[in-house]
């Protein structure tokens, strides 16, 4: 970690119960804010804003803190923590939601402390677009704002979502959701449509097929790192986003740089996408945050180098 | 075209009737030998061995000849030409066969003229593995042998297919067929298994997600070139293989080079895979061979450069 620029992430901190062809895991740690922050913490200081119930293990919050992740924005309130149950069939690219118990997350209302308001990089997890806007109203001149969203908000709160989209620099979104949001069935057309809605940078995440970056400079086709065994794809997209934002923060990318040195900005973006692909490839090797929690920086560097070799013509 | 090294392709020359979400085409030109030879002819001289019925248009054979494709090995026999009818749903990655009328292809028996026997590069289309072996018995010391296969032979003539696999340098195969052939459900594992069956180079074609190359030197992840509109995926894999083999021929790749200069061989292979991806991206833009038949060499170069920019980190 070579930067003091901090990343603010607002998202879910949750329990997941997951079934995949490789096995099952009950009541394990999950949530977009959780995956994102652990992934980003390999590159830059992170502050998480979220809410958990009194059933959430203090030991995990302590573990996050020991990784220099600021958890002062995770409120512990009476009640139960958000719980998502999902399953994957042989096609590991799409999760099937079995149950969603919002619990304390239902009344999540992100109020930012001064330290959070001054963050350099902001990532809005796939929460209610009204809450995403509420966060944006509180932050002060961040260098870059990125966001995610999901089917639920695209179909349920499209107008609010459009307002958020108009205010961000970067959207990171799943392929199927990009088609749903744009009404297009072609990757390039979907990205062009979404770029017209606000974000000048669009990243479409394609599961085991990697991610595609669309900017003013063109298209970058990043493959997924081929892992031997995909155990659980949960959190792949969130840890992709975490490493991506972490890389941008470490490299000092900004909205200003996008204008003043678009070539440098593009180059950093491309490396950041590859960093995201590498992080996601570790996430899927085990359930929950298990693989990320035992990931060594040296393994990350090794796999990054390996991926570079796999894409060199 | 900078080479005199010629490529022999043995495969189907056929009529296709195709339905896709973009429209339909009845009784149009198709067949693996057809797609392969037109694609390869942008890079090297090609000789096609196949069989057609008396209903096959002479004008097309003349058109192939005008492109310096040697069609003396396409026998015209009494009866009807092989006819395949298929359709694609929104997921354009897999064809559904509606009908297959082998017609004159049922008694196809490839006998090679001397000129064909002396070809430098040999590509065995996805015909009966017994016929593939018969071709191999007739050729004299080619520099490289590549092949394709398909579900029908993997399930129906596996033992014969294994004999062919043991004799070739390169297998180019669809993702689903690679899983079927290997019994593995993971890309790297499937490739490792298949490399153990004979071919030291395995290319797994993944439709809109590109192609992955597996060699003694490692893995190369090649993306598909993102086209605006996929009209008809038929022939994408065969034209991929044609441009791939054409590139190898033009660059003078050989089994000897694989041993004496593995780094150079690997580098040529990677560029050849990208050439294949570019050619396939043109094929899918229209029905049948329509796009390839009006393709200019300058368009090919332009898109190759464009793809290089899209994969540069």
- Nearest chain A Cα distance for residue B252, angstroms: 18
For chain B, the domains span 7-311
Residue contact B311–A229, C-beta within 8 A: no
Mean pLDDT value of segment A23-39? 97
Contacting residues of A for B228, CB less than 8 Å apart: 186, 188-189
Of residues A187, A230, A270, nearest to B313 (C-beta): A270
Is it the case that residue B1 has pLDDT exceeding 80?
no
Q: How confident is the model at residue B248 (pLDDT cuts 50, 70, 90)?
A: very high
Is it the case that residue A177 has pLDDT exceeding 70?
yes
Of residues B228, B267, B311, nearest to A311 (C-beta): B311
Q: Which two tokens stand for residue B135?
A: 């071709």
Residue contact B309–A218, C-beta within 8 A: yes
Mean pLDDT value of segment A276-287? 98
Q: How confident is the model at residue A72 (pLDDT cuts 50, 70, 90)?
A: very high
CATH number of this structure's domain A7-311, picked from the four choices 3.40.1190.20, 3.40.50.970, 1.20.950.20, 3.40.50.720: 3.40.1190.20
Contacting residues of A for B223, CB less than 8 Å apart: 210, 221, 223
pLDDT tens per residue, range B201-245: 999 999 988 999 999 999 999 999 999 989 999 999 999 999 999
Residue contact A221–B310, C-beta within 8 A: yes
Kindly list the strands in the beta sheet with B170-174, ordered across the sheet, starting from the edge strand earlier in the chain.
B69-77, B46-53, B7-10, B121-124, B144-147, B170-174, B201-205, B211-215, B218-222
Q: How confident is the model at residue A240 (pLDDT cuts 50, 70, 90)?
A: very high
Is it the case that residue B83 has pLDDT exceeding 70?
yes
Residue of chain A minimizing CA distance to B90: A185
Tell which wins on pLDDT, B2 or B144: B144
Residue contact A219–B188, C-beta within 8 A: no
Mean pLDDT value of segment A12-19? 97
Residue contact B313–A219, C-beta within 8 A: no
**How large a percentage of chain B has pLDDT more than 70?**
99
Per residue, the 3-state secondary structure of chain B, as one string, reads: CCCCCCEEEECCCEEEEEEECCEEEEEEEECHHHHHHHHHCCCCCEEEEEEEECCCCHHHHHHHHHCCEEEEEEEEECCCCCEEEEECCCCCCCCEEEEEECHHHHHCCCCCCHHHHCCCEEEECCCCHHHHHHHHHHCCCCCEEEECCCHHHHHHCHHHHHHHHCCCCEEEEEHHHHHHHHCCCCHHHHHHHHHCCCCCEEEEECHHHCEEEEECCEEEEECCCCCCCCCCCCCHHHHHHHHHHHHHHHHCCCHHHHHHCHHHHHHHHHHHHHHHHHHHHHHCCCCCCHHHHCCCHHHHHHHHHHHHHHHCC
pLDDT recorded at residue A252? 97
Would you tell me which residues 163-202 of chain B have a C-beta closer than 8 angstroms to some C-beta of chain A? 185-189
Kindly list the strands in the beta sheet with A83-87, ordered across the sheet, starting from the edge strand earlier in the chain.
A23-30, A14-20, A83-87, A96-101
pLDDT recorded at residue B90? 81
B311 inside 8 A of chain A by CB: yes
Residue contact B212–A226, C-beta within 8 A: yes
A301 inside 8 A of chain B by CB: no
Residue contact A274–B189, C-beta within 8 A: no
Is it the case that residue B131 has pLDDT exceeding 90?
yes
Residue of chain B minimizing CA distance to A308: B313
B308 inside 8 A of chain A by CB: yes
pLDDT recorded at residue A255? 97
**How large a percentage of chain B has pLDDT more than 90?**
94
Say if CB A178 and CB A191 are below 8 A apart.
yes
Give the burial string for A104-124 (b: 16+ CB within 10 Å, else e): bbeebebebeeebeebbbbbb
Contacting residues of A for B271, CB less than 8 Å apart: 313
**How large a percentage of chain A has pLDDT more than 90?**
94
Q: How many CA atoms lie within 13 A of B193 on its CB side?
A: 17
Contacting residues of A for B220, CB less than 8 Å apart: 310-311, 313
Mean pLDDT value of segment B267-289? 98
Q: How confident is the model at residue A1 (pLDDT cuts 50, 70, 90)?
A: low
On average, the pLDDT of chain B sits at 96
Q: Is 0.90 surpassed by the pTM of this model?
A: yes
């Amino acid at each position: 970690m070579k930067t003091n620029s901090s990343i603010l992430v607002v998202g879910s901190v949750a329990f997941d119960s997951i079934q995949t062809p490789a096995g099952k895991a009950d009541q394990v740690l999950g949530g977009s804010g959780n995956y994102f922050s652990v992934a980003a913490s390999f590159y830059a200081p992170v502050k998480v804003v979220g809410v958990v119930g009194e059933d959430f293990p203090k030991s995990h919050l302590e573990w996050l803190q020991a990784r220099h992740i600021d958890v002062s924005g995770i409120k512990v309130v009476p009640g139960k923590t958000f719980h998502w149950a999902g399953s994957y069939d042989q096609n590991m690219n799409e999760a099937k939601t079995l149950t969603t118990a919002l619990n304390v997350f239902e009344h999540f209302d992100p109020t930012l402390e001064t330290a959070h308001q001054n963050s350099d990089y902001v990532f809005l997890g796939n929460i209610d677009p009204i809450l995403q806007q509420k966060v944006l109203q509180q932050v002060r001149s961040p260098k870059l704002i990125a966001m995610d969203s999901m089917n639920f908000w695209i179909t349920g709160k499209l107008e609010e979502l459009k307002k958020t989209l108009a205010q961000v620099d970067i959207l990171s979104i799943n392929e199927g959701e990009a088609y749903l949001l744009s009404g297009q069935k072609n990757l390039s057309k979907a990205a062009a449509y979404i770029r017209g809605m606000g974000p000048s940078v669009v990243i479409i995440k394609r599961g085991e097929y990697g991610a595609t970056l669309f900017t003013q400079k063109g298209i970058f086709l990043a493959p997924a790192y081929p892992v031997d065994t995909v155990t659980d794809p949960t959190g792949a997209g969130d840890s992709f986003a975490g490493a991506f934002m972490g890389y941008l923060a470490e490299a000092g990318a900004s909205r200003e740089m996008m204008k003043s040195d678009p070539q440098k900005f593009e180059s950093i973006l491309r490396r950041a996408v590859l960093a995201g692909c590498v992080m996601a490839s570790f996430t899927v090797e085990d359930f929950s945050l298990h693989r990320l929690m035992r990931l060594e920086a040296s393994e990350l560097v090794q796999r990054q180098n390996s991926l570079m070799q796999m894409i060199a013509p």
